[in-house]
Structure 1
Amino acid sequence: MRTVSDYFGSLVFDDRVMRAKLPSDVYASLKRTIDEGASLDTHVADAVATAMRDWAVEHGATHFTHWFQPLTGVTAEKHDSFIAPSPDGGVIMEFSGKELIQGEPDASSFPSGGLRATFEARGYTAWDPTSYAFIKGHTLCIPTAFCSYSGEALDKKTPLLRSMQALNKQALRVLKLFGNEDVKCVRPCVGPEQEYFLIDKAMYEKRKDLVFCGRTLFGAKPPKGQELDDHYFGAIKPRVEAYMEDLNTELWKLGILAKTEHNEVAPSQHELAPIFSVANIATDHNQLTMEIMQKVASRHGLVCLLAEKPFAGVNGSGKHNNWSLATDTGVNLFKPGETPYENAQFLLFLCAAVQAVDNYQDLLRLSVATAGNDHRLGANEAPPAVISIFLGDELTAVLDAIETDTPYSGTEKTVLKLGVHVLPKFTRDTTDRNRTSPFAFTGNKFEFRMVGSSDSIACANIMLNAAMAETLKEFADRLEGVSDFESALHDLIKETIKAHKRIIFNGNGYDDAWIKEATEKRGLLNLRTTPDALATVLEKKNVEMLTSLKIFSEAEIRSRYEICLENYCKTVNIEGLTMVDMVRKEILPAVEAYLGDLSGTVAAKTAAVPGLACKYEKDLISKLSKLADEISDAASSLDTTLIRLKAIPDVTDAAYVIRDVVLQKMAELRVVCDEAESITADKYWPFPTYGDLLFGVR
């Protein structure tokens, strides 16, 4: 029987394969490219391509593709076969270094936000050698960046790699001040926890809202939801367990470190969590994970829903983005050390994170802004739209003591002068987890809990890396060349705590009093909707920071604003049209059919026994008739608004109309439809109910 270690990474051209397949000089050169960013010459590229082709063909691959992440939110691939004609009429298998390094897919149909015209079709993909190639089906997939003919980034990977480069540069400057000359690289590491729902495929196919929108637009609350908390960490049902086993096998073959699986809070909701990896690899792996989750589900007669709020009234799904910084020497910069200097270094990086989140809370918020996530944020299962940081009581007390130059009342009652003090020994869990915090310190990492379940994690990590890089740059500029480093360090940390402690909050993020305190007393932002959040990316401070670090050009920033707003508008418009279609073609006919049979029952009963009151039937007929009229009116009102929406040329104006008008009309339509569902006999209702969907997988 094969064990996991026998097949883990078997479909990945990883370091083990490269070491075995490549000549030693080629392997050494490629490792310098991967680890240090050294350029790759043609000889090395050709040798790598030959070895990669031979290995892929041995594993049954017939095609190759440059696998990239355009601004659609999903991955893209164009397959080319390895075959080339031979003189004898047969074929040979070819794959060159040029084909490995660069591809040329048609870029005309991908979102560009005005970066290029539709008729300008040329685009380029460029190999990312830091992310291993892998085999999917019969295709060798080569992770790449994607850019336009004129060099603008048309993908999510390019700015992510830029942000990692900027963070590395500034972190190394700071580390050298602490004498860390041996450190050559600092990398952000990420472990995204993926939440999802599993529902029966046959039921899914009977609901247009799920098929077209990925979430339900109607649905009366069933008698049971998640009130008993009996699903969370409960025994996994056999059908789901079989799915998880199959999913793990597929992920492990691709070298994806799937580690934890369990039932989540809502019925039919589950979670998968991986082990940490470098940010760009974690991003690639998460995109692959979402794709494979859906493919494997189909094999089991299931559908994997990744929408942030597929069902009203129960928890939605997020993607907790666990983020840390690690050196190539194995040091976690968010983990307190054993010596005074290590602890001082930890405190500086911790304070840099606090300042970064405070200064760029708007960028973090917009990095998770989508139409789907707007339904989730602020509900009982997700953090609010207001950004704050949870540090826990003990670490907050340490910072308070530094700020005020007063004795710390922990293990040692001493004034904490940096460079000479010893911090208390932090364990992994010094305080309880705060599930309501958007950005929580959990012992040796930060957990950014606002990312939506269907989102790419690229944008959130771009903004985290960028904000951190800018803050470390400011710190390095101030500390380099000072005559008394320890005093300057102490003053810097003290001033940072004082200036940015408003962002630190260890309490209940769901409390209305906190939202009031955060916005009115602390001056924190409450960007409740996607249009509110996205607009902040165009503010001067954000444009200056992102362009100065060379993460985005100004044109690329503007393009992403346009693309994200356009996606928001299109998503809600599709949902609105789907609602109208379902009401007119399914819900109203079902209600009318039930009314017709009820009326026939009244006529039959009174004919058989003249004078019968038929109170039940007549009350129900009256109520349903009134609801049918209200449903029809609400659907017409929504339809009229959607027609008017088409005439608004400016995407920003359209987004605000959607926020202020369309979503309200959709909510009003849903209320009356859900009420009608609750009093219509089951056999008449045209599609599976919440009870069917949430409890249908056994």
Structure 2
Amino acid sequence: MMAQNRQRVPVVPPSNKISDYYGTNVFGIKQMKESLAPSVFKKVVEAIDKGSKIDSSTAEEIGSAVKTWALSKGVTHYTHWFQPLTGSTAEKHDSFFDAQAGIEKFKGSALVQQEPDASSFPNGGIRSTFEARGYTAWDPSSPIFIFDKTLCIPTIFVAYTGEALDYKTPLLKSMEAINDAAVEICQLFDRNVRKITPSLGVEQEYFVIDKALYATRPDLVMSGRSVFGHNPARGQQLDDHYFGSIPTRVKDFMMEFEIEALKLGIPVSTRHNEVAPGQFEVAPLFEEINIATDHNQLLMDLMDKAAEKHNLKVLFHEKPFAGVNGSGKHNNWSLITDTGVNLFQPSNSARENLQFLTFLIATVKAVYDYADLLRASIASAGNDFRLGANEAPPAIISVFLGSTLSGILDELEKNGNIKIEKGDNMYMKLGISKIPEIILDNTDRNRTSPFAFTGNKFEFRAVGSQANVAGPMTVLNVIVAETLKNLSKDIEKEMNGGKEKKLAIVNVLRKYIKESKKVRFEGDGYSEEWEKEAEKRGLSNLKSTPFALDTYLDKKSAEVFIKHNVLSSIELHARHEIMLENYIKKVQIESRVMGDLSLNHIIPTAILYQNKLIKNANGLQGLGLDNTAAIDTIKEISRHLESVKSNVIGMTEARKQLNKEENLTKRAKGYSVEVKDMYFEKIRYAVDKLELLVDDESWPLVKYREMLFIK
């Protein structure tokens, strides 16, 4: 069957009302309250809210209730579901059925902890061969769920010696750090605040192509992106795909994964076409950051499985197709108090606006002070192709606030020395008594900014679409926590010097505004002028992953992680090594794919076509006819063939030499400069030119025009 003529796979929701099936595959608060004794339920809530430990007897009661619930839904196996440093999720399934006892069993100890071994996961040298054990431990703050008839228990994953081997452990620690720091600042404004929770909404971009066409492209199968492919005559230049009518097959696929996501308590709420043809987006409502991270990982898995049913393939690579927009994972981050206040929400209250500005300015200062670390947190081989291209933000980290907020900060900086007499309205004199409601419009998303304020949250747009968001969110949490701690000390120092509290806060904010001003940018982040301006301001432009990753080992970076008990020195070095190895392997795979396609597919096809042209040219000459056009094409094919062959040979040799390099950092940087930068574009350019010259029926690869415009 031709891919363009595939039949629809009908999707029937279990009910017309989402509320009838929302969360039915989740053992959440509602299910726990219904199935657990009040005293047990209270302990679970305390574990979720306060991080307190669950004792063995409580674990047994929870395990029994979970087993009964799971068996009632036809579940036969359970697993500890964790997020190793591969970037994906992992699971080992165990049966409830005990063959010796002849019954289904599930002990509380199996709920709380497992030893999955998992010695083959990347560990950066933390786990020696003779100490290869790894342990998973239940994270009660993220709900247990059923996926593919398996009971999934969200867990952390740590080494025998206690070091984190996953994304979740440092994320949870960073949440503790920012809670501690933010509560301290909040209590300057409201003594009732006892807890601050980072909130996250993840906009997930992705491409969809036909499964059969995907299978014909070895580069997509092997590396997730098309290493070759000439731009079609029509791409995204008409802007006709963006927010357009969703193709029928894609809409069916969307309904499929949305239904399953809703059953799992993932609050998906938005779907639409993105800018590039074949590109789409799904976005959920905001959730507590740990749950949002788990849900995003689970959602990608759901989307993969749903696509199979509809004969489609989802591409999460940041840049699967050249010449059109890449895909990001826009992280909308905010801080919520246990009193229900969004700390990034402007207000009609002068006091609340001073609190709002305090957290806003502290976040900007954190981004300025740790811009390179934030850049490192989103570094990957795939994201390097996206950053700075088309819609994606550049590798230069900057903050967009919008004209209204920028004006308010400038006014606060300028007027901070206003003399305040007794009885004066300080808030009014400083111009912060009422922040205009129009701020929501004035802080419209700047699509060229990697870190933008968007009304009541910050949107970290530079995160790649394949990434586990726990990585960059851990960094964001910890750098803001550090800045808030410093802010608290600076305010206390001012107050100890005799300043009234509000004036002490304003004085410190003025200082932070001045110190971080260089990172604020309101213009076009794609422009060459910005690169030059950023260089003048002293802002880094780390375009390649291996160079960006060096930041993890800086003294300044190490100190902030260690100080807040988020990552130890050993864990930092391990992660640095793992990320370098991952980068090398990704570039190595793409390099080999390019070589294989060039030598075994492109060159033989082009030569066969060239021989046809030579035969035709000789025939024309024998008939006394003009064969100039044929000769010119033959020569042009020869030039491109020579370029492909010589550059593939050069690339292969460079790879061989680099594989002898024992220093991992040098090898990774070599793969970036001496393999990717030196050869990828040269080979691609020549192959893409050959695609235009060789007969369409002979060309061995499915073309962009066939893959991108799905029906």
Structure 1 partner of 2:76: 62
What is the deviation of 1:402? 1.1
Q: 1:56-135 residue pairs with structure 2 within 5 A?
A: 56-86=70-100, 91-135=102-146
What is the deviation of 1:625? 2.5
> SS of 1:428's equivalent?
helix
8 Å contact kept, 1:102–1:125: yes
> SS of 1:683's equivalent?
coil
- Give the whole-Å Cα distance in 2 for the aligned partners of 1:391 and 1:631: 46
Task: Supply the AA of the counterpart residue of 1:669.
Answer: I
Confirm or deny that 1:543 pairs with 2:543: no
Task: Supply the AA of the counterpart residue of 1:276.
Answer: F
8 Å contact kept, 2:85–2:121: yes
8 Å contact kept, 2:549–2:576: yes
Q: 1:36-435 residue pairs with structure 2 within 5 A?
A: 36-86=50-100, 91-181=102-192, 183-405=193-415, 416=428, 421-425=433-437, 427-435=439-447
Q: Deviations over 1:526-583 (max 9, x none)?
A: 1111112100111111111110000000010111111111111110011001100111
Q: Which runs of 5+ in 2 are unaligned?
A: 1-13, 419-424
Task: Using the aligned pairs only, state the percent identity.
Answer: 48
8 Å contact kept, 2:224–2:315: yes
Cα RMSD of the aligned pairs, angstroms, is 1.9
What is the deviation of 1:604? 4.8
- Give the whole-Å Cα distance in 2 for the aligned partners of 1:692 and 1:683: 13
Give the alignment partner of residue 515 of structure 1, picking from 524, 531, 544. 531
Task: Supply the AA of the counterpart residue of 1:511.
Answer: S
- Give the whole-Å Cα distance in 1 for the aligned partners of 2:647 and 2:117: 43
> SS of 2:131's equivalent?
coil
8 Å contact kept, 1:220–1:674: yes
Q: Which runs of 5+ in 1 are unaligned?
A: none
> SS of 1:684's equivalent?
coil
- Judged with a 3 Å threshold, the aligned counterparts in structure 2 of structure 1 residues 459 and 416 are, in CA distance, closer, same or farther, namely farther
Confirm or deny that 1:474 pairs with 2:486: yes
Query: How many residue pairs are counted as aligned between the two chains?
Result: 687
8 Å contact kept, 1:401–1:416: no
8 Å contact kept, 1:341–1:419: no
Structure 2 partner of 1:524: 539
- Give the whole-Å Cα distance in 2 for the aligned partners of 1:449 and 1:259: 19
8 Å contact kept, 1:200–1:303: yes
Structure 2 partner of 1:589: 604
- Give the whole-Å Cα distance in 2 for the aligned partners of 1:270 and 1:177: 44
> SS of 1:260's equivalent?
strand
> SS of 2:221's equivalent?
helix
Give the alignment partner of residue 454 of structure 2, picking from 442, 450, 473. 442
What is the deviation of 1:303? 0.6
8 Å contact kept, 1:108–1:119: no
- Give the whole-Å Cα distance in 2 for the aligned partners of 1:69 and 1:266: 30
Structure 2 partner of 1:683: 697
Confirm or deny that 1:616 pairs with 2:629: yes
8 Å contact kept, 1:405–1:415: no
Structure 1 partner of 2:661: 648
What is the deviation of 1:332? 0.3
8 Å contact kept, 1:243–1:297: yes
- Give the whole-Å Cα distance in 1 for the aligned partners of 2:28 and 2:236: 43
- Give the whole-Å Cα distance in 2 for the aligned partners of 1:37 and 1:570: 38
> SS of 1:303's equivalent?
strand
What is the deviation of 1:117? 1.6
8 Å contact kept, 1:401–1:407: no
- Give the whole-Å Cα distance in 2 for the aligned partners of 1:655 and 1:427: 44
Task: Supply the AA of the counterpart residue of 1:500.
Answer: S
- Give the whole-Å Cα distance in 2 for the aligned partners of 1:40 and 1:604: 86
The range that moved more, 124-133 or 103-112, is 103-112
- Give the whole-Å Cα distance in 2 for the aligned partners of 1:133 and 1:231: 38
Q: Deviations over 1:500-540 (max 9, x none)?
A: 111111111112112211121x2111111111210011111
8 Å contact kept, 2:416–2:510: no
What is the deviation of 1:65? 0.4
| TM-score relative to the length of structure 2 | 0.94
Structure 2 partner of 1:533: 548
Q: Deviations over 1:428-475 (max 9, x none)?
A: 323432111111111100000100000010111001100110011112
Structure 2 partner of 1:35: 49
Q: 1:666-681 residue pairs with structure 2 within 5 A?
A: 666-681=680-695
8 Å contact kept, 2:617–2:627: yes
> SS of 1:266's equivalent?
coil
> SS of 1:682's equivalent?
coil
8 Å contact kept, 1:324–1:444: yes
8 Å contact kept, 1:355–1:471: yes
> SS of 2:559's equivalent?
helix
8 Å contact kept, 1:336–1:426: no
- Give the whole-Å Cα distance in 1 for the aligned partners of 2:244 and 2:511: 47
Structure 2 partner of 1:628: 641
Task: Supply the AA of the counterpart residue of 1:598.
Answer: L
- Give the whole-Å Cα distance in 2 for the aligned partners of 1:632 and 1:179: 69
- Judged with a 3 Å threshold, the aligned counterparts in structure 2 of structure 1 residues 535 and 11 are, in CA distance, closer, same or farther, namely same
Task: Supply the AA of the counterpart residue of 1:115.
Answer: I
Q: Deviations over 1:366-425 (max 9, x none)?
A: 0100011011101121111111111111111111111111799xxxx9975579934334
8 Å contact kept, 1:405–1:416: no
| TM-score relative to the length of structure 1 | 0.96
8 Å contact kept, 2:205–2:329: yes
- Judged with a 3 Å threshold, the aligned counterparts in structure 2 of structure 1 residues 611 and 422 are, in CA distance, closer, same or farther, namely closer
What is the deviation of 1:627? 2.1
Q: 1:466-505 residue pairs with structure 2 within 5 A?
A: 466-480=478-492, 482=496, 484-505=500-521
Task: Supply the AA of the counterpart residue of 2:489.
Answer: D
What is the deviation of 1:612? 2.8
> SS of 1:429's equivalent?
helix
Task: Supply the AA of the counterpart residue of 2:578.
Answer: I
> SS of 1:322's equivalent?
strand
